[in-house]
Structure 1
Amino acid sequence: MSDYTVREFIQKTKRDTRDKDAFDLQTDRILEVNLTSSLWAKIGSMISYTGDIKFTREGVFEHGVSKMLKKSFTSEGEDLMKAEGRGTLFLADDGKKITILELENDQITINGNDILAFEPTIEWDIKLMRKLAGAMSGGLFNIELEGYGKVAMTTHYEPLTLIVEPGKPVMTDPGATVAWSTNLKPEFRTDVSVKTFLGRGSGESIQMEFEGDGFVIVQSKEE
């Protein structure tokens, strides 16, 4: 590791103040948001801000009774916070890599724990995977997003996108699965045996199977 004088370190790590989009990356693990109205973000993700910004926790009825009931019976993702006002907001999540997606009337499903922030123009809903295998994997609930606007998602290290083609299903580990195109409806494959419960199985007893026409995004570390 190189040594720096204080002046050199400041010069190397100081904020890039050039004009940016509403969502931009200061580093691959720090998101800069140029806030002019509001956005939704993962609670606890704010690391710094300037300007006049107010933070409020997601209200019980903030998104309607349906979403409230789903959240009441799930542990999906983290609670959201609303950031409102004008200023510059910096967000991060446990040092994970951040990717900004621009939705242009697209639909994408993202693991709730992997959503960092999204613009209020995007519609979203919680979706429940009603499979016993899903409950065992700990990956029951996900967030469907659609419409127009920016979404920031996080991954452990670099994400990998796998293309799903008709007749060529793709299997993934639920803990490594980050997101997929919403038109795909994953099923769970199980290979549960006595050895699995005794700790002598392969460790890959539950997989998600994606079949159809779309994509699935995975990360290199299981959650």
Structure 2
Amino acid sequence: MSKYSIAELIQSTAQEDKEQGFFELETPHMLEVNLNGQVWAKAGSMVAYNGNIKFEREGFFEQGFGSMFKKAISGEGTTLMKANGQGKLYLADEGKRVIILELQNESISVNGNDLLAFTPSIRHEIKLMRKVTGMLAGGLFNIRCEGSGLVAITTHHEALTLRVTPGNPVITDPNATVAWSGNLEPQFQTDVSFKTFIGRGSGESIQMRFEGNGFVIVQPYEEVYMQSNS
């Protein structure tokens, strides 16, 4: 059989049941959800499915009035969708790498652009960091995931996890910051000397500062966020 034949293509790229559970890494860049019930996913992340699955965007009032308000002012009212039914669901986001995390009565905060999917047992809440609006286009928001269950996040290229320990803070670029442990509360700071170096026309150098005991996940890529319409 020719290595360029259609039969070889089908064989080398065929879906494979790895029997890893509800979430499987079908490839490093694609998540397979063995759905029997419901899963939350990033709106627009579905690339294929089989079986009987229905999709519904998260309603404004679904997580309460406070969450509705945050979504409205952040322009992110349709970030999440629910998939209900039975079958195999395949999710991906711009070819980014997928990381599966199993929370065991734990919490993690994920950049709103980097959350791919999570199981219904996970409680989620939008955290809007509006005070940085004007410093970063559109401000920043993250989604706090808490409880026991599975969470899938995405990163551009290989991720790096940095430990945060008392007396040893970690400072990151907000556009390269993917997620952090739920007990950490990042503070924003401006690197005045770097701002002076690059000149006023280039904008401010905004950094996230993590102090305490936990971890931060970063990626070797700076995502650019669109300005919201609020």
TM-score of the two chains, using structure 2 as the length reference: 0.88
Give the residue type in structure 1 aligned to 2:17. Answer: T
Q: After alignment, is 12-21 or 104-113 more displaced?
A: 12-21
Deviation at 1:79, TM superposition (A): 1.6
Decide whether the 8 Å contact of 1:176 with 1:219 is kept in 2.
yes
Residue 85 of structure 1: aligned partner = 85
Stretches of structure 1 that go unaligned for 5 or more consecutive residues are none
Partner of 2:228: none
- Which residue is equivalent to 1:40? 40
Distance 1:18 1:126 in 2: 33
The letter for the 1-side match of 2:135 is M
Residue 210 (structure 2) pairs with residue 196 (structure 1): no
Give the superposition deviation at 1:28: 0.5
Structure 2 residue aligned with 1:137: 136
User: CA 1:78/1:221 → structure 2, altered by over 3 Å: closer, same or farther?
Assistant: farther
SS of 2:74's partner is: coil
Say whether 1:127 aligns with 2:127: yes
Q: Distance in 1 between matches of 2:157 and 2:63?
A: 32
> 2:68–2:77: 8 Å Cα contact kept in structure 1?
no
Q: Are 2:118 and 1:104 equivalent residues in the alignment? A: no
How far did residue 191 of structure 1 move? 2.7
Deviations 1:12-51 (A, max 9, x none): 1101034331000110001000000001111111010000
1:50-89 mapped onto 2 (5 Å cutoff): 50-76=50-76, 79-89=79-89
The gaps in structure 2 that reach 5 residues or longer are: 224-230
2:83 and 2:160 map into 1 onto residues whose CA distance is: 30
Residues 114-167 of structure 1, C-alpha deviations (whole Å, 9 max, x = no match): 0001111101111122534x6412452111110011010000011100001111
Shift in Å at residue 205 of structure 1?
A: 1.4
The superposition leaves residues 90-124 of structure 1 with CA deviations (integer Å, 9 ceiling, x where unpaired) of 00000000000001001100001000011111011
SS of 2:135's equivalent in the other structure is helix
Please give the alpha-carbon distance, in whole angstroms, between the structure 2 residues aligned to 1:104 and 1:148.
4
- Aligned residue-pair number: 218
**Counterparts of 2:205 and 2:182, CA distance in 1:** 25
Contact 2:50 2:88 (8 Å CA) reproduced: yes
In structure 1, how many angstroms separate the alpha carbons of the residues matched to 2:20 and 2:136?
40
What is the match of residue 14 of structure 1?
A: 14
- Distance in 1 (CA, whole Å) between partners of 2:182 and 2:17 is 36
Counterpart code for 1:153: I
Q: 1:130 to 1:73 in 2, by over 3 A?
A: closer
Amino acid corresponding to residue 95 of structure 1 in structure 2: G
State the TM-score, normalized to the length of structure 1: 0.91
Q: Which amino acid aligns with 1:9?
A: L
Equivalent in the alignment of 1:222: 222
Amino acid at match of 1:11: Q
CA shift, 1:75, in A, is 3.4
Following superposition, the deviation at residue 10 of structure 1 comes to 1.1
1:126-165 alignment, distance < 5 Å: 126-132=126-132, 135-138=134-137, 139-165=139-165
Q: Percent identity?
A: 57
The amino acid across from 2:200 in the alignment is: F
Matched with 1:181 is: 181
Q: Give the conservation status (yes or no) of the 8 Å contact 2:58–2:78.
A: no
In 2, distance between residues paired with 1:110 and 1:39? 17
